[in-house]
Chains A and B, each alone.
Chain A
Amino acid sequence: DVKVTQSSRYLVKRTGEKVFLECVQDMDHENMFWYRQDPGLGLRLIYFSYDVKMKEKGDIPEGYSVSREKKERFSLILESASTNQTSMYLCASSFPTGGFWTSGYEQYFGPGTRLTVT
């Protein structure tokens, strides 16, 4: 089974702090994603990466940066946390090649980090 782990389930930070959210997957997946999930707004893509050291902006990258130094690890960084970044953050990974049972687009999610910025 694919396993995606996130460094914290709950995090409370103060405004202006630098925040690191880490995600690790154990299935050698090429693609990794960071989303935030807010009531009424659904899942919104922040950044994604399709290879080590490669990154692409998603729909809402402002206020965030990412790092992917190793294939299995994808970090989301809030340079200066603000209250409007209070949210549930979800990491996901996928393997780009489809097989008999897959289309190659299936994403496997971590349990999420609920971040509160006060």
Chain B
Amino acid sequence: TQLLEQSPQFLSIQEGENLTVYCNSSSVFSSLQWYRQEPGEGPVLLVTVVTGGEVKKLKRLTFQFGDARKDSSLHITAAQPGDTGLYLCAGANLKAAGNKLTFGGGTRVLVKP
């Protein structure tokens, strides 16, 4: 069974600060997605990383896929209250039927104004 561990589980910061969320596994994934979920809503896809060592930027969000494709990080620069939410990483395995994903437990981020 493939597992994805996210850390920290909870992060509370002031507006303008930076933060990093980590997603780690002992398994190799063919790709990794990051989602953000706001209270009472479903998760929304932010980005997909596919290549080991890949870095993608989405405005103030920077996503990195580890060289060995076992881990990933999400870094937010100058966080804003609108960044508040539950951040989920999810790994894909080419061998999994139906294109299933393995989800991490999530990191709840609170950005205080």
Q: Which residues of A contact B (CB under 8 A)?
A: 4, 31, 33, 40-43, 45, 48-50, 56, 58, 90, 92, 94, 96, 102-112, 114
Contact = CB atoms under 8 A, between A and B. Distances in A.
B57 interface: no
- Range of interface residues on B (Cβ < 8 Å): 20 to 34
Tell me if A's interface is mostly helix, strand, loop or mixed: strand
A92 B44 CA distance: 10
A106 B103 contact: no
Given A103-B50, A105-B31, A50 B42 contact: no
B3 to A, nearest CB: 11
B58 interface: no
B33 A105 contact: yes
Nearest to A114: B40
B45 interface: yes
16 contacts: A31-B99, A40-B105, A43-B88, A43-B103, A49-B98, A56-B98, A58-B100, A90-B42, A94-B99, A103-B92, A105-B30, A105-B99, A107-B45, A109-B35, A109-B44, A111-B42
Nearest to B47: A106
Given A49-B98, A56-B97, A102-B48, A111 B103 contact: no
Nearest to B45: A106
